[in-house]
Structure 1
Amino acid sequence: MENRNEKILIVEDDSQIRNFISYSLKQAGFPYLTTGTAQGALSTLVSEQIDLMLLDLGLPDFDGMEVIKKVREWSEMPIIVVSARDQDKEKAAALDSGADDYLTKPFSATELLARIRVAIRHLHRAGGIKQQTSLAVGGLRIDFDKHLVYLDDAELHTTPMEYNLLVLFFRNIGKVLTTKYIVKEIYGAGYGTDTQALRTLMASLRRKIEKNPAKPRYILTEIGVGYRLADE
């Protein structure tokens, strides 16, 4: 068992699920704290150094969505929603509110720990990302200083919009980005909710970076929610 330094807060009112998650984290070497209420979560975040939060939405005092919004007022810590709500609109709402990932119950310990590892890698990258001149995922690399994109060391020609879209994904490696968020960031807040332009842009970019655009390796579709740049 590897001992990890990242402390995780489990916010779950169902004792069986809370115990299952606690056991999984203990086996993986993660230190953790638990609470069954939204207020308990906020109090713990104020008093303890927490690196990542696993958050149920259906809490007894107030909705977990409000916890996300409150935390995002002062912290960028990774938040993984763990919920029985499996509707796409619920997932998109949580992600738009500031959650980094969404795991639907029931789930396995393997999947839970994989999502946690991705979120932690994203957390560690974020600390120095502004100082980095380039980032790579597999054979796909972006050079921020030169505004160039490479695939297997060969330079790719990208349009300004394609490059901006890739920058957005590389700034959020492993994180699910909703279509609403991407449209706002790429086209501006006043663009509206039409996603046709984004779908066209995404198809164009995938033709350039994917060997098989129908089975993408890099930019993955989260059905009904948005897209994610795969984390190695």
Structure 2
Amino acid sequence: MTGSTSARILIIEDVMIMQEFLRLQMEAGGHEVTAVGEAEQALAAIKNSAFDMILMDLGLPDEDGLVLIRRIRALRDTPIVVLTAREEDDARLAAFEAGIDDYIDKQVNARELLARIRNVLNRSKGRPAQAEATTLLRFGTWTLDLDAYTLLDESGQAVDLTPMELRILGALVRANRRVLNRDQLLDAVSDTADPPTDRMIDAYISRIRRKMGDPSVILTVRGVGYRLGVSSQQD
């Protein structure tokens, strides 16, 4: 964060009146705000900038909010607060299972909204800082350069991974030991022209392990998904 009370907040809300209301409330609370109205705009902002928190609606014009949450979680561990008119228990549970930090009804008053935002920000202070537009990832003895589409081993030798394998590996490295299920991995690469199916994810993981010659780099969490088996850092 930029200070003890100030935070960089991304608002994702397609209703302009509500978006402006939230902007004014967050700025009144001393926060720096970026506001967008669509999922793809949000993903572009997240890839290019570091935010301390994301405040979002579930009803977006170009993508379901739950899908967007999974796509964000495959890229960043930024705290996510959902502000929505959906009151169904199933929607609330699905949002928490996707990885949000709080779920707030849109009827909330401004004072409570700011208090809950402050609580989420305070709880997140111990999380590792998120890198801005990170493309060079180091994990264990490996270096992954997503700009150059290259994976290097400890001696600097390139490992022959396909672009899709590199993207899947990049999602796992960015998650840094957090488990990603198949849906989250699919969401992480879904902007490609020919995204894989959930069954293909298993095959890609198997090929990545074989080419790297170290199956312990990517661990299987039975019944859940996959996670990185070594610590990572991002430049």
* Mapped partners of 1:72, 1:127: distance in 2: 14
Q: Which amino acid aligns with 1:55?
A: M
Q: Secondary structure at the match of 1:50?
A: coil
Aligned-pair CA distance for 1:74: 2.4
- Cα–Cα, structure 1 residues 189 and 87, in superposed 2: closer, same or farther, change >3 Å? farther
- Cα–Cα, structure 1 residues 115 and 189, in superposed 2: closer, same or farther, change >3 Å? farther
Aligned-pair CA distance for 1:65: 0.7
Q: Deviations over 1:116-152 (max 9, x none)?
A: 1111111103349xxxxxxxxxxxxxxxxxxxxxxxx
Is the 1:68–1:97 contact (alpha carbons within 8 Å) kept by the matching residues of 2? Answer: yes
Aligned-pair CA distance for 1:25: 0.8
Q: State yes or no: 1:110 paired with 2:106.
A: no
Is the 1:69–1:97 contact (alpha carbons within 8 Å) kept by the matching residues of 2? Answer: yes
Equivalent residue, structure 1, for 2:97: 96
- Cα–Cα, structure 1 residues 118 and 189, in superposed 2: closer, same or farther, change >3 Å? farther
- Cα–Cα, structure 1 residues 11 and 39, in superposed 2: closer, same or farther, change >3 Å? same
Q: Secondary structure at the match of 1:21?
A: helix
- Cα–Cα, structure 1 residues 20 and 3, in superposed 2: closer, same or farther, change >3 Å? farther
Q: Which amino acid aligns with 2:29?
A: A
Structure 1 residues 82-231: aligned runs within 5 Å: 82-127=83-128
Q: State yes or no: 1:10 paired with 2:26.
A: no
Q: Which amino acid aligns with 2:53?
A: L
Q: Deviations over 1:147-202 (max 9, x none)?
A: xxxxxxxxxxxxxxxxxxxxxxxxxxxxxxxxxxxxxxxxx977xxxxxxxxxxxx
Q: Which amino acid aligns with 2:111?
A: T
- Where structure 1 has 5 or more consecutive residues not aligned to the other structure, the ranges are 129-187, 191-232
Equivalent residue, structure 2, for 1:49: 50
Aligned-pair CA distance for 1:3: 8.1
* Mapped partners of 2:4, 2:121: distance in 1: 14
* Mapped partners of 1:66, 1:114: distance in 2: 27
Equivalent residue, structure 2, for 1:172: none
Equivalent residue, structure 2, for 1:38: 39
Equivalent residue, structure 2, for 1:65: 66
* Mapped partners of 2:43, 2:74: distance in 1: 12
Q: Percent identity?
A: 35
* Mapped partners of 1:50, 1:125: distance in 2: 15
Is the 1:3–1:30 contact (alpha carbons within 8 Å) kept by the matching residues of 2? Answer: no
Aligned-pair CA distance for 1:73: 1.0
Q: Secondary structure at the match of 1:89?
A: helix
Q: Which amino acid aligns with 1:17?
A: M
TM-score, with structure 1 as normaliser: 0.53
Q: Secondary structure at the match of 1:34?
A: strand
Q: Deviations over 1:71-127 (max 9, x none)?
A: 111211100001110111100000000111101112211111111111111110334
Is the 1:3–1:29 contact (alpha carbons within 8 Å) kept by the matching residues of 2? Answer: no
Q: Which amino acid aligns with 2:121?
A: I
Count, aligned residues = 130
Equivalent residue, structure 2, for 1:133: none
Q: Secondary structure at the match of 2:127?
A: helix
Aligned-pair CA distance for 1:5: 3.7
Equivalent residue, structure 2, for 1:20: 21
Structure 1 runs of 4+ aligned residues shifted over 3 Å read: 2-5
Q: State yes or no: 1:81 paired with 2:82.
A: yes
Q: Which amino acid aligns with 1:98?
A: G
